Structures are given as C-alpha cells and as structure tokens.
Amino acid sequence: MIRERKMFFAWQQQKEKNYLEKKAMEGLLLKKMGLGYYDFEESEPKDMVYEFDFRMINKKQLEEYLEMFQDWEMVIHYGGWFYFRKERTLNNEIYNDFDSKKNMFTRLLGFLLLAGFPLYYQVLILFPYLERTNRLTTFYKYFRPFTTIILVLHTYAIVKILLVYFAFRKNMKE
C-alpha cells in the first residue's frame, strides 16, 4: 500500500479526478482515503475513469442507490461522497445529463447551507444580541473570532462551489 498526502476540496472535483486517473495510469488504484491522504494499491497500469457523487443516504437506501451504478465499481464512501471507477469506455460519466449533475450540486450546497446554519446564527444573531445586552461572556469573546474565521471559510467554499456550478451550466448550454 502506498500513501500519498494530498488534499482536494469539493470545488476541485476535476482536479481530484485527473489526479486519481493519472495514478491509475501509473499502476496505482485508490484503495482508501481520509482527510489529507490517499492510499493506493499497486496494479497493472489501467486507463480508469473516476467519478464522484455527493449524497446523504442511510444504510437502507444504500443498496438501491448502488444499483443505479451497476457499471461502476464503488471504491469508497467518505462522508457524503461516493467514489466510483471503471475502465474507460465510450460512456465515461455518471452524470450524462444536465439535470443529474445540477441535482448533485443542489444536494451539496443544501448540505453546506444546513451545516453552516449554526455558524451564521452565532455570528449574525447571537453575538450582536449578547454584545447589545452586555451578556458577552469571556467564552464568547474568545469564541467569536474563531467562529467568524470558520464562517468566512465556509462562505468561501460555497462561493467556489457556486462558481464551478455556473461554469458547468455555461458549458452545458454551449
């Protein structure tokens, strides 16, 4: 097993896809991954295609979900992300129409907005209220800058994903 330290973000799907496909051409197939690392197993060099899908599903829905990707090998499920691969053929994409890819972006953005709601609530509602009523405790005085930084990074991620989505939408219309 070969481990490489690398990190990609949700808006860098194409870059991550190219990286994994290049590794497959070098004879390294993705086996496992985590935050900031990829584990590869050695094999014969192969012309593989990697695709990703974001979906929050429970174990009962998993079998039905995977049936949609019969032609694909599910490599790993990490968080809400599913990594699939197969040898390159004429049909190399999971999303072969605009609506299915748009739905993936909608699921991803919806998840990010829902997960970020507590951050937005803290910074936009709670902190101003505590400051206005002189109830800003020492904890919140130190917690506020940390929360604000995380909020800015969260907003940055949403904007980057939206830019990727709009570029995709523009390319599909051309």
Domain range list for the chain = 2-87, 98-173
User: To the nearest whole percent, how much of the chain has pLDDT over 70?
Assistant: 95
pLDDT band at 43 (very low <50, low <70, confident <90, very high): very high
pTM: 0.79
Mean pLDDT along residues 92-120 = 83
Comparison of pLDDT for 167 and 139, the residue scoring more:
167
Find out whether 17 and 25 touch, Cβ atoms under 8 Å: no
Rounded Cα–Cα distance for residues 27 and 170 (Å): 35
**What burial class does residue 133 get, using C-beta atoms within 10 Å of its C-beta: 0-12 exposed, 13-18 middle, 19+ buried?**
exposed
Rounded Cα–Cα distance for residues 92 and 58 (Å): 27
pLDDT at 173 over 70: no
Rounded Cα–Cα distance for residues 38 and 26 (Å): 15
What's the confidence (pLDDT) of residue 138?
78
pLDDT at 116 over 80: yes
What's the confidence (pLDDT) of residue 20?
95
Give the list of residues 6+ apart from residue 58 with CB closer than 8 angstroms, or none: none
